[in-house]
Structure 1
Amino acid sequence: MKILVASGNAKKLRELETVLAEFSIAGVELVSLKDVEPYPEPPETGLTFEENALIKARAGAAATGLACVADDSGIAVEALNGMPGVLSARWSGDHGDDQANNDLLLAQMSDIDHRAAAFVSCCALDVPAELSPDGQPREITAEGRWEGALLREPRGENGFGYDPLFEPADCPGRSSAELSPDEKNERSHRGAALRVLAPEIAKLVGA
């Protein structure tokens, strides 16, 4: 069964592949946005990670007829009342400019000692009725959190986004960008959410 991962980021496909392998789920072929006919990607107008994940999953399923997994994620900083939150990817104004986003967040937090933060991810699975075991369309969402703290300067070359600024509570002394892919997959917010969705994916393939 093909399942669309509504992203062009190969790392997100590998993360879901790893989770499916953990659950011994076979019979699933993951495809990315690069593997399907282009379709208009909807604006992420939701006020929560869950709303945005559902927007993307619904659009992918409607456009391709495939079951679709999508996620929305970001960093939530306690001292900023949970921001950047859903605005993480465009915190500096330009969507996806990691350097500018990181620089702005560091500047905003430069005089603040309370550095508690968390990576948050919501993953959504949209299943068209014709692919659902009971013939009914299904939507499932799951949230994962990775608690930690915001560093005062970037460290590490792995990962993307805010990884160089985030020190996980379960890996003190290292940034998320200093972890290996395997270490990150074991702990990450997205991995936690995907592990909740995995049993639902298993039902689709009769695993």
Structure 2
Amino acid sequence: MNRTIVLASNNAGKLKEFSELLDPLGFSLRTQGEFNVPEADEPHPTFIENALAKARHASRLTGLAALADDSGVCANALEGAPGVFSARFAGEPKSDARNNSKLIEELAPYADKSAYYYCVLVLVRHANDPQPVIAEGRWDGEIIADARGQGGFGYDPHFWLPPLQKTAAELSAQEKNRLSHRGQALRVLVEKLR
């Protein structure tokens, strides 16, 4: 396998986070934008199908191995919503503030505010790889109505972590990377690649 992996994203934060763990293994991670790869459609109802579609798309257009992730927040009382629609829960254009407002409003009638962040990572060695490397992570918490903290993004200011008595937005970047769904999935992926 070529040691260059295309990240099926243009997110600089993800590139930095993933590179920190993959570089020591001898892999060079580059964003799909460096290869003029447009974003893939994400029409599927599950995280894994969307991540696999994004990885295959980037690999097909570059001829290289590709890594993709799909993640979101899932509220138990809402049968896992917003789930794969987390980034666009309140519609277009994407808005963290509107997404959070909608989630809080939809959870209001329920006593159960438990939720979890979920992430799946998919690495394909080539576009038709019949055995992609798959890693997942889950981070449990609760959704609170009042935003707390300045860090993170998305639902983090409303994602309460009872054992820590903090929201995800109140954690340092290092704490979040250690505890988060994405951090967990990335460590599983690294172990599989070793």
The TM-score with structure 1 as length reference comes to 0.85
Q: CA deviation at 1:37?
A: 1.9
Alignment partner of 1:141 out of 110, 131, 134: 134
SS at match of 2:132: strand
Q: Distance in 2 between matches of 1:95 and 1:51?
A: 23
SS at match of 1:96: coil
Matched, 1:49 2:51: no
Matched, 1:186 2:178: yes
| Aligned equivalent of 1:31 | 30
Structure 1: gaps spanning 5 or more residues: 130-135, 203-207
| Aligned equivalent of 1:19 | 21
Give the letter for the 1:15 counterpart: E
Q: CA deviation at 1:168?
A: 2.6
Check conservation: 1:5, 1:13, Cα contact below 8 A: yes
Check conservation: 1:19, 1:198, Cα contact below 8 A: yes
SS at match of 1:83: coil
Alignment partner of 2:121 out of 105, 120, 123: 123
> Cα RMSD over matched residues?
2.0
Identity %: 42
The TM-score with structure 2 as length reference comes to 0.90
What is the aligned residue count? 192
Q: Deviations over 1:104-131 (max 9, x none)?
A: 11111234332111000111001128xx
Q: Deviations over 1:128-162 (max 9, x none)?
A: 28xxxxxx764121211001111112111211111
Give the letter for the 1:83 counterpart: A
| Aligned equivalent of 1:104 | 102
Q: Which segment is superposed worse, 162-171 or 68-77? A: 162-171
Q: Distance in 2 between matches of 1:186 and 1:125?
A: 21
Q: Distance in 1 between matches of 2:8 and 2:76?
A: 29
Q: Deviations over 1:55-106 (max 9, x none)?
A: 1000011111121110110001011111111111111112532111111111
Q: Distance in 1 between matches of 2:162 and 2:22?
A: 26
Check conservation: 2:123, 2:133, Cα contact below 8 A: yes
Q: How does 1:1-20 map to 2 (within 5 A)?
A: 1-20=3-22
